Amino acid sequence: MCAQVLVIIADIEYPILARVRTQIEVSPFLKLTRKRWWMLVSINIAFVLVGQTAAVLLGRFYYAEGGTSMFLATIVQTAGFPILCIPLILIPLPPSSSPPPDPRTKKHIVFIYLSLGVLLAGNNLLYAVGLLFLSASTYSLICATQLAFNAVLSYFINNQKFTPLILNSVVILSFSAALLAVNGDSNSPAGVSKLEYSIGFVCTLGASAVYALLLSLMQLSFQKVLKSESFAVVMKMQIYTSLIATIVSIGGLFASGQWRTLHVEMENFNSGPPSYFMTLVWTAISWQICSVGVVGLIFLVSSLFSNVISTVALTAAPIASLIVFRETMNGAKVIAMLLALWGFASYLFQNYLDDSRTMETQKSTETDSSNEIRKESSCVVSLA
Ligand SMILES: Nc1nc2[nH]cnc2c(=O)[nH]1
């Protein structure tokens, strides 16, 4: 899951513009000029866009070339997690101001990592089954519903507000998925039956829902137990949950007996064993590049922005798969894509409104308090 922690989600309470201002002007940790800030944001957007698109296409390529192991396709989504230690080591962290957790809290933290790690493994297995039966374009467009699930779940779990614009975005993204459900897909992988298409659709939709649930639960853990959303804490959450998910997925590979056929699968891979190996390695690397971008955007801008970018990036996969797999965009897919973009726009516009309101309030509070100070100092002057 590229975005697992990642998209720790829709913190509408941290509006984008307000956060941008705060990060640039106030944070001594980031101390960025506006130009450098924009450069870093652009680099991280590129990481998400390239990492996620490459990972989805490579995942489809693995199946298209004769790969059959859903568990192997699950493992590669998290197995590259040691790469995440690089930014954790390279980026200097400010000394922690909070006391170390007591033994009870430590137990809770271990429980959180374990349960979220297991949920993440299940989530990645659902994604792997979805991609087995669907074309890359249909798969990606269904994944875009994660934003709608996110809006609904964060209303119940994270007390996020649900406005008419958010409702509009949920309804439109649901229409987009429904259109793909009833329309079928002329680009479905060879030999996929109607029933298998339905299984692929349901698993991908289920994965998008579980992904949104993971994000909301992670945000809840940061607020209630970890009591921090610092760079190190978020990175550690990403690393430990990926470690657990990788162990669980490897367990699944052995329990299912799929490991016995891996050797044959590699020998029979259409483009040869070296290509088999490189496909898996680069899928794992691509998911981690995407993860670095998602976490980077959370810190540079906000988790909401990060979530929206990774969802918008999903619409790049259908375009890329036109070129790579010669898939075609039929009318239904084009309309589904336009609906998805409309859904994102509606979601973003709500955040823009929240931002503007927060900045207005901030400005008037600042003006009020500077007037207060002026009044007080004139008082002091007159008293003197
Ligand atoms: N981990 C993960 N995240 C995704 N987000 C969209 N598609 C996927 C996927 O296949 N795996």
Confirm if 23 and 37 have CB atoms less than 8 A apart.
Answer: yes
pLDDT tens-digit readout, 223-234: 888 877 677 888
Q: Kindly state the tokens that stand for 8.
A: 């720790």
CA atoms within 13 A on the CB side of 23: 23
Q: Is 316 helix (H, G, I), strand (E, B) or coil?
A: helix
Ligand 1 atom nearest the C-alpha of 3 is 3
Supply the residue whose CA is at minimum distance from atom 6 of ligand 1: 143
Per-domain residue ranges of the chain = 50-92+101-356
Mean pLDDT of the 341-347 span: 87
pLDDT tens-digit readout, 93-114: 666 666 777 888 889 999 999 9
Q: Give the whole-angstrom CA distance, residue 207 versus residue 264.
A: 29
Supply the residue whose CA is at minimum distance from atom 11 of ligand 1: 1
* Ligand 1 centroid – CA 287 distance (Å): 8
Supply the residue whose CA is at minimum distance from atom 2 of ligand 1: 1
Residue to mutate, 5, 9, 52, ligand 1, most ligand atoms under 8 Å from C-beta: 52
Q: Give the whole-angstrom CA distance, residue 140 versus residue 142.
A: 5
pLDDT value, residue 5: 38
pLDDT tens-digit readout, 292-311: 888 888 778 776 778 788 88
pLDDT value, residue 331: 84
126 versus 341: the higher-pLDDT residue is 126
Confidence bin at 376 (pLDDT 50/70/90)? low
pLDDT tens-digit readout, 22-78: 444 434 445 567 788 888 889 999 999 999 999 999 999 999 999 999 999 999 999
* Ligand 1 centroid – CA 2 distance (Å): 6
Confidence bin at 377 (pLDDT 50/70/90)? low
Least reliable range by pLDDT among 87-96, 216-225, 257-266, 339-348: 87-96
* Ligand 1 centroid – CA 1 distance (Å): 5
pLDDT value, residue 216: 87
77 lines ligand 1 (CB under 6 A): yes
Whether ipTM tops 0.95, in short, is no
* Ligand 1 centroid – CA 57 distance (Å): 11
Which contiguous run of DSSP H or E holds residue 367?
helix 331-383
Confidence bin at 4 (pLDDT 50/70/90)? very low
Q: Which residues contact 367 (CB under 8 A, 6 or more apart)?
A: none
pLDDT value, residue 97: 64
* Ligand 1 centroid – CA 95 distance (Å): 34
Confidence bin at 159 (pLDDT 50/70/90)? confident
Residue type, 3: A
